[in-house]
Every structure is written in structure tokens, then in C-alpha cells.
Amino acid sequence: MLTFPITLVVMDVTGFDDVVLRLAASAYLGRYTGTSRMHYESDLRLFFTWCAERDLAPLALGRAQVELYVRWMQEIRRFKLSTVSRRMAVVPVSTAPA
């Protein structure tokens, strides 16, 4: 049985490949320690929650969904531009054409 060294909780989301998502999150967070890790984990949790509320697969978002996430952070959550920029660092970038 695999164990994951992070406390990141992926909400009850049906249809997501939970193992792949957890491995991707673990690999990403494994590069950081201390407060940086804590902040990036928070960023991932917010992103995963946003995706879950909209029934979107975090690893398969297109440009339109990413732009909606940015607008949500700016207009609904009222994050400053610097916060939006940092939080976008955890959003996986698709190599597929839009």
C-alpha cells in the first residue's frame, strides 16, 4: 500500500484519478520545505476545491477553465495580483492546443 507524505486532502471528487492526482501533488510539494511547502499546499487545496465544486478534473483543464479560475480568485475571492500569481504556480499547464 502506498502512503503519501503530505496531508493534502483531495475532496470527495468522483471521476478524478485520485492516485495520479495525489502522486502529482506529492511530487510537486516534495520540492519545498517549511513555510513554502505550507503555502503551496494551501494553493493546491484551494485549486482542488475549486475544481471539485465545478466537477472539473484538475489535471485536464483547458485555457478557458484556467481563465475562469483566475477571474474567480480576482473577482470573488478578491486576491491581490501577487497572490493570484503565486497561486497560479500550482495550476498544471496543458501542452494540448486550446
Identify which has the larger pLDDT, 95 or 44. Answer: 44
Identify which has the larger pLDDT, 4 or 70. Answer: 70
| Average of per-residue pLDDT across 37-65 | 93
- Looking at every residue in the chain, the average pLDDT score rounds to 83
pLDDT of residue 53: 95
Identify which has the larger pLDDT, 78 or 1. Answer: 78
CA 29, chain centre distance (Å) = 11
| Average of per-residue pLDDT across 32-43 | 94
Which residues, 6+ apart, have CB-to-CB distance to 78 below 8 Å?
none
How many whole angstroms separate alpha carbon 64 and alpha carbon 42? 23
CA nearest neighbour of 54 among 72, 34, 29, 40:
72
| Average of per-residue pLDDT across 25-44 | 94
